[in-house]
Structure 1
Amino acid sequence: MNYKNFSIGLTGGIGSGKTLVANMFADLGASVVDADEVARNLTAPGGEGIGPIRKEFGSQFIRPDGAMDRAMMREHVFSDARERLKLEAILHPLIRDVSLRQAQEAKGDYVIFVNPLLVELPIWHGMGTRVLVVDCPEELQVSRVMRRNNMSAEQVRAIMATQASREKRLSMADDVIENDRGIDEVARKVEYLHAAYKKLAENSAS
């Protein structure tokens, strides 16, 4: 399999259900490369991102165990766009390099790049032959993240404000999974798309 011939860029706003959908595709045989998971590894103790983050932001953002203090950094960058851009300039080139390396080594039917900023940042444009958007109403996003992350509505909306609008994501989508109708409906759509993607991947390899 060559991910350069065929791959999927999966995106959606916070709380839309990207992880749920990605896990379903993985269960069916796709190889999933998750940018958030890559970022967590880069900012874990000994991760490649720790040195540059310490240099740019200071040791107060590094926990005693050597990992980035995610809660402190989140609060810092979401209140200041310039600081967020600094963090993105450090992490996103590293995330891209690791993601491409993982895709090169993938053994599944095809590769899915899961990335919440696929639409927003130019560095991610073109990651995926097709763009798959997981979509749901914004109020549902807010309630899910409040429940999952123990955040206030204001905190969730501040994060959403840094992401592309629902309309912009949908305008760039080749395929859409609506995640507001129950898990069985999502599973049916994933199975349908997986069969289509597998065929496209096979055709691109021939």
Structure 2
Amino acid sequence: MKPWILGLTGGIGSGKSAAANHFGSLGVHLVDADQAARWVVEPGRPALTHIVDRFGEQILQDDGVLDRAALRARIFQAPQERQWLEQLLHPLIREEMRNALDEARSPYAILVSPLLVESAAQRQMSQRVLVVDVPEQVQIQRTVQRDSVPEEQVRAILQAQASREERLRHAHDVLVNDRDLVWLQREVERLHDFYLTLQGGQS
């Protein structure tokens, strides 16, 4: 039987990766949209050529790999450039994710994506949505510490992502991750046991 797909999302610094990794350790097949986004711009892939044509060689690191920070800086200041990039990459990323989900052999598979709510196409790939949720102040603190970036940059990223309310509106399940890792892992195990009882992601 084909596994059903759980969409797992959460804002920056919410701990969705930690949650996803624990689901993975329980044997659930994970497909990460961020990883798919990295694969489609690897050296030798057509998308990277288009990006260099558009933004010039300075968008590459010395080893020919895309300089993601330089690209991010360029598109955050120019909405039309961000749009161009999304139109180029989104179909390629979707195809990459679909192929990876088709390989799943676990009872259900997880599509991990920070933009699940923003992307109707990704939402349509999921039968159920789990949101890892934390208060905004916690998101900012965690991200500043983890990535050593200024608070303004984190706030800019939060502005570009769906609002917390918007994410929660799409959630079938919510995991509030405002405690420690042990607690998070216990919550993941509780949800996993529940998900194993579902047919097609619906209770």
Query: In which range does the TM-score fall when normalised by the shorter chain?
Result: over 0.9
Partner of 1:80: 78
Equivalent position SS for 2:45: coil
Equivalent position SS for 1:7: strand
* 1:97 shift after superposition: 0.3
Q: Distance in 2 between matches of 1:21 and 1:127?
A: 20
Equivalent position SS for 1:126: helix
Partner of 1:176: 174
Q: Is the 8 A contact 2:127 2:200 kept in 1?
A: no
What do the CA deviations read for 1:84-127 (whole angstroms, capped 9, x no partner)? Answer: 11111111111110100001012223110001111112332312
Equivalent position SS for 2:126: coil
Q: What is the correspondence of 1:45-64 to structure 2 with a 5 Å cutoff? A: 45-64=43-62
Partner of 2:2: 2
Q: Is the 8 A contact 1:118 1:127 kept in 2?
A: no
Partner of 1:18: 16
Q: Is the 8 A contact 1:110 1:198 kept in 2?
A: yes
Q: How many residue pairs were aligned?
A: 201
Query: Which deviates more, 40-49 or 122-131?
Result: 40-49
- Alignment root-mean-square deviation, CA: 1.6
* 1:48 shift after superposition: 4.1
Q: Distance in 2 between matches of 1:159 and 1:204?
A: 33
TM-score normalised by the chain length of structure 2: 0.93
Partner of 1:145: 143
* 1:204 shift after superposition: 4.1
Q: What is the correspondence of 1:118-157 to structure 2 with a 5 Å cutoff? A: 118-157=116-155
* 1:147 shift after superposition: 1.1
Q: Is the 8 A contact 1:134 1:176 kept in 2?
A: yes
Q: Distance in 2 between matches of 1:188 and 1:97?
A: 33
- What's the % identity of the aligned pairs? 46
Letter in 1 for 2:171: A
Query: Which deviates more, 46-55 or 139-148?
Result: 46-55
TM-score normalised by the chain length of structure 1: 0.92
Give the 4+ runs in structure 1 shifted more than 3 A.
Answer: none
Q: Is the 8 A contact 2:5 2:110 kept in 1?
A: yes
Equivalent position SS for 1:141: helix
Q: Is the 8 A contact 1:11 1:134 kept in 2?
A: yes
